[in-house]
Amino acid sequence: MAQVKLVNYDEAPAEVRAVFDDIMKTRNTDYINNIWRALAVHPPLLKRFWSQMKEVMVKPSRLDPLTKELIYLAVSVNNNCEYCITSHTFAARRHGLDDAMLAEFNEIVALANAGNRLTMGLQVEPDERFKPKHADTAWSVGKKPAVARKKPKQSR
């Protein structure tokens, strides 16, 4: 049971219905997944996360759709997010993933986890030749006059 009541279309405010409509139109479906209905309890969050998902996963880019789903799925498997593994394996199958490819995908995820731990456990340091070689310059605002300030509020 989700921690919040899943919002349904009829009871949703206009700003939520607008997002639901865009999700259904974008995905050519009349169904809204549980995650979107849960995020709808806080409309600004629903709008932000859907807009990111649409920008990053739906809009055509340098990486093909299946590769993008597999990258998303690799993270979901590593975090053991049952909901995410279920929904993104479903999505990857829509993009052509079959059982043999799914098994191959998971073996790569497993091998990477094994390799990561062998490297971390033995504290092996990166080979110099694999490190980036570019030269960074110190930050400079150039011509822009520095802003006078009392107490900077530096954060990440």
Residues 6-25 that bind a second copy (CB under 8 A): 6, 8-10, 21, 24-25
| Amino acid occupying residue 45 | L
The set of residues, in sequence order, having a beta carbon less than 8 Å from that of 66 and lying 6+ positions away, is: 92, 95, 96, 97
CB of 50 to a second copy, least distance (A): 11
Residues 86-125 contacting a second copy, CB under 8 A? 86-91, 94, 99-125
User: Rounded to the nearest 10 degrees, what angle do helices 82-94 and 99-121 cross at?
Assistant: 130
CB of 30 to a second copy, least distance (A): 4
Output 19 or 32, the one with its CB closest to a second copy: 32
Residues 28-87 contacting a second copy, CB under 8 A? 28-35, 37-39, 41-42, 44-45, 48-49, 52-53, 55-58, 61-63, 66-87
Number of residues that bind a second copy (CB under 8 A): 119
Q: Given its phi and psi angles, is residue 3 left (phi above 0), alpha (psi -120 to 50 degrees) or beta?
A: alpha
